[in-house]
Amino acid sequence: MGDLLFVTVVGYDRPGIVAGITSAVAEVNGNIESIRASTLSDLFFMSMVVDISKINCSKEELIRRLKDRALKIGVGIAIEDEESKSKTKKLIAFDMDGTILEAEAIDEIAKRAGVQREVAELTRRAMNGEIDFEYALRERVRLLKGLPVEVVEGVAEGLPISKGAEEVIKTLKSMGFTTVLITGGFDVVARKVAERLGFDYWFANKLGVEDGKLNGEVEVLVSGGESKLEILKKVAEAHGIDLEECVAVGDGANDLLVLEKVGLGIGFKPKPIVEERVRAVVSINDMRTILALIASGRLKEGREG
């Protein structure tokens, strides 16, 4: 145990994917024991088993090289060890803003309140791990005080869903996955997104409302990574699922703890701090890549190449 890595690569088909990834293995004296290439609609994905017993660098260095090569080529990649790969994944948790949603909902709401610049800067600093998430959240909500809640609901209706998200959630549910949306964003938005996509569970922070307007307060139920992890644990335990049997998808610093504790944590269009620390990254704006990374061996569509 410990001498094998399982590498899955997915992206839009183009020349150079196979050569680029396999050369990163060869450069450190890794041995590719098996390789399988398949297609899923217009996506290409490849699975490799790599023997790392004789590599001339550390396992962590090889993982870093593989991620860097994948990002340079423009494909998503997941790198798992034998223990992680052996666990059948049963639950998947998604972040909302910047992941399931292409936009940060609070930034879009801030535009309507005329405080876009101030809120966007707080959002940026929180997602990059520069300031405490809960502090940034409360400060941003304070700036929204007085905005009619119907305006927030209107913004929520029009927020762009990430490409492929509806298809991915539908497919995962048909495969038996429990689907969970956990966001440090707002209940007004999360409810609409979860209902639209069919999530089994959703968790978000509750905006304070008085006389039909935001009162500048927020009931914080989901703040940093610890609260997200606790929520995920409770849902998983309720279904008899171990953390090692869970997948998590997110992009920001407040997702990191969850991404590092589950069986497979995927950085989707990740911030630099996330890209550096997780073993699976996707920079392509297409959520179907997530499906291929976590369930390539269980998908009915596709053919071996």
pLDDT-based confidence at 298, cuts 50/70/90?
low
What is the CATH code of the structural domain delimited by 4-86+269-304? 3.30.70.260
Q: Are strands 4-12 and 31-40 parallel, antiparallel or unpaired?
A: unpaired
DSSP assignment of 266-288 equals EEES--HHHHHH-SEEE-SS-TH
**Is 0.75 surpassed by the pTM of this model?**
yes
- pLDDT (0 to 100) of residue 84: 86
Q: Dump pLDDT digits (tens) for 248-267.
A: 999 988 899 999 999 999 99
DSSP state letter for 160 = P
Instruction: Write down the CATH superfamily of domain 93-231.
Output: HAD superfamily/HAD-like (3.40.50.1000)
Cβ atoms 267, 280 nearer than 8 A: yes
Residue 268: φ, ψ to 5°: -100, 115
Domain ranges of the chain: 4-86+269-304, 93-231
> Quick check: is 95 catalytic?
yes
**Closest among 130, 108, 256, 159 to 122, alpha carbons compared:** 130
Cα dist from 195 to 140, 183, 191, 199, whole Å: 25, 15, 6, 7
Of 3, 95, 200, 255, the active-site residue reads 95
Q: Whole-angstrom Cα distance, residue 135 to residue 184?
A: 12
Q: Which residues pair with 219 in a beta bridge?
A: 206
DSSP state letter for 199 = -
Of 3, 13, 81, 97, the active-site residue reads 97
Q: Quote the distance between the C-alpha of residue 73 and its chain's center.
A: 20
Q: Dump pLDDT digits (tens) for 109-160.
A: 999 999 999 999 998 898 788 998 889 999 999 999 999 999 999 999 999 9
Length of the chain (residues): 305
Cβ atoms 275, 251 nearer than 8 A: no
Cα dist from 277 to 10, 60, 76, whole Å: 20, 10, 15
Secondary structure tally for the chain: helices H, strands E:
13, 12
